[in-house]
Amino acid sequence: MNRGETGLAGVMGWPVAHSKSPRLHGFWLQQLNVDGAYLSLPVSPEKLLDKVAGLPALGFRGVNLTIPHKEAVMPLCENLDETARRIGAVNTIVVEEDGALQGINTDAFGFIENLRQNSSWTAAAGAAVLLGAGGAARAVAVALSDAGVRDLRIVNRTSERVQTLIGSTAIKNASFVSWDERHQALDGAALVVNATSLGMQGNPSLDLNLDALPTTAVVNDIVYAPLQTPLLAAATARSNPVVDGLGMLLYQAVPSFEAWFGVRPDVTKELREFVLA
């Protein structure tokens, strides 16, 4: 296989112009003086198979996958790591030396690393409330379960999605809470995570009454556009520690960059500012 001197990687999505990944990986390539390039790769669903299959021949080290390819790419990978299998999505392909495609998922790592680096949260602190059961919530649920959370309360509008999530990720100690009971579910919790799309630019706000939540509980919104969501503003107003969603995006990129380019990059204040600018 021809893997040229210059390491090639990129992000496949449809559309992909909005992705912050080229800026993020581009920052590290320059900062760490790596001979590499990270490209924005618009790939329509019909072309996914051909484009992914062509990666080894083109000398790519790998790619990130974003909407709508994270699930569809799974059968195209020769090897899938256990986390990707449980989450049911691949966000990173690594082209191995022999040209085989390895599918991994770094979103669970990104979520938990962001939480740990930006708060004093520990799994032993108590119950965690997760709002949402979509793609991102699956990664959060796996991360919290693997971190040792004993009481994971998953709140979602559609109950079937939570049952599927719990069954297919094989997470333990999780229970379903109906959408109507979300306010009371906060009682005694040590962590609240919003993994719904509510609060995101162009979407309605998340309607969540924080009265039952201890003021020591960490509130994490994985929505990062806007950075300060109405949920984080309400939590800050009552002195709860808060963690925003941009860090998850930055940390999920660390293992991918390392796998492709052989150097482990750091998430720094400068990187955050560069990606936001």
Query: Which positions lie near ligand NAP, rule CB under 6 A?
Result: 132-137, 156-158, 161, 195-198, 200, 222-224, 245, 248-249, 252
Write down the least CB distance from residue 90 to ligand NAP, Å.
Answer: 14
Write down the least CB distance from residue 176 to ligand NAP, Å.
Answer: 12
Residue 172 is among the residues annotated as catalytic for this protein: no
Residue closer to ligand NAP by CB (options 29, 115) is: 115
Write down the least CB distance from residue 21 to ligand NAP, Å.
Answer: 10
Work out whether strand 174-178 and strand 101-104 pair parallel, antiparallel, or are unpaired: unpaired
Give the residue at shortest CB distance from ligand NAP. Answer: 134
One-letter identity of residue 80: L
From 20, 70, 172, 269, active-site residue: 70
Residue 218 contacts residue 240 (beta carbons within 8 Å) = yes
Positions annotated as catalytic residues are: 70
